[in-house]
């Protein structure tokens, strides 16, 4: 059984004491494919070091995270473009709009999101979308860039059924993680109405740990707990959940 964690911040300081052991723990339970999003230039070298350590397992994205869009965001976007031109990545991400923490950089976030979508098209890559308190704003940009060559993942999807269908219509898979195990997560109430071909698994580790670890540090081995929850929701064996969601991830990332 091969499980794929399509979104994990393996370079996070939260893992500084046991990073290698944590990755090996995940591989031990069948999570052998890790897709690592970028947040800003400060973490680029750590990402490259991880890829060098686990070249068969770790696959990188490049992008500027919306909450890291600040006064220097044009310099950060230039860094993203330089790196994309230099080596192979598997998506542009994570990119998007986040209005939960700070609304003062909305215009810059919109510009950064649109620019990075255009980079994804240029390099024929998927996008990995971060959206928090910003569904209308994210969809506005996606609609303006809608095209056959625009595709990717709506990471950590927490919207309603209508928003899920709208995302799917825009060639996005839904990234499902720990929220599907929460009592108040809500997405488990309609997930079985969405064909599994539109779903990929993720942890967003070290954040959003699934039950029974909610509130604690998340890690990639917990992808299996998300798969077990989807096994209940879809009434399918976990091996089938793993197979389909991994095939979906291959279709998006090309590996």
Encode pLDDT of 167-192 as tens digits: 999 999 999 999 999 988 889 899 99
Mean predicted confidence (pLDDT) in 202-220: 98
| Residues 1-16, mean pLDDT to the nearest whole number | 98
Q: Which residues are within 8 A (CB) of 6 and not within 5 positions of it... i.e. 6 or more apart?
A: 35, 128, 153, 155, 175, 200, 201, 202, 249, 252, 253
Task: Give the pLDDT of residue 95.
Answer: 98
pLDDT tier at 25, thresholds 50, 70, 90: very high
32 pLDDT above the threshold of 90: yes
pLDDT digits (tens, 9 = 90+) for 107-134: 999 999 999 999 999 999 999 999 999 9
**Quick one: average pLDDT of 17-24?**
98
Over residues 151-163, the pLDDT tens digits come to 999 999 999 999 9
Instruction: Summarize the confidence of residues 127-155 as an average pLDDT.
Output: 97
Average pLDDT over all residues of the chain: 97
Per-residue pLDDT, 176: 98
Spatial neighbors of 199 by CB under 8 A, at least 6 apart, are 173, 174, 176, 191, 230, 244, 245, 248
**Cα 231 from Cα 180, distance rounded (Å):** 11
Q: What is the pLDDT of residue 143?
A: 97
């Amino acid at each position: 059984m091969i499980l794929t964690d399509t979104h994990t911040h393996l370079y996070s300081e939260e893992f500084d004491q046991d990073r290698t052991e944590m990755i090996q723990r995940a591989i031990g339970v069948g999570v052998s494919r890790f897709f690592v999003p970028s947040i800003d230039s400060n973490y680029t070298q750590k990402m490259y070091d991880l890829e060098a350590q686990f070249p068969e397992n770790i696959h990188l994205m490049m992008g500027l995270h919306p909450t890291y869009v600040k006064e220097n965001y044009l310099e950060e976007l230039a860094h993203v473009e330089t790196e994309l031109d230099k080596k192979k990545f598997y998506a542009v991400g994570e990119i998007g709009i986040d209005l939960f923490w700070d609304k003062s950089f909305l215009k810059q976030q919109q510009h950064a999101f649109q620019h990075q979508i255009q980079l994804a098209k240029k390099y024929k890559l998927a996008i990995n979308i971060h959206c928090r308190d910003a569904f209308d704003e994210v969809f506005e940009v996606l609609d303006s860039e809608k095209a056959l060559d625009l595709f990717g993942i709506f990471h950590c999807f927490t919207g309603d059924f209508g928003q899920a269908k709208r995302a799917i219509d825009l060639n996005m898979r839904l990234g499902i993680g720990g929220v599907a195990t929460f009592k108040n997560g809500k997405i488990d109430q309609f997930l079985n109405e969405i064909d599994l071909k539109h779903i990929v698994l993720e942890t967003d580790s070290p954040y959003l740990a699934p039950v029974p670890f909610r509130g604690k540090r998340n890690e990639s081995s917990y992808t299996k707990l998300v798969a077990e929850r989807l096994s209940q929701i879809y009434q399918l064996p976990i091996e089938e959940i793993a197979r389909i969601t991994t095939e979906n991830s291959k279709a998006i990332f090309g590996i």
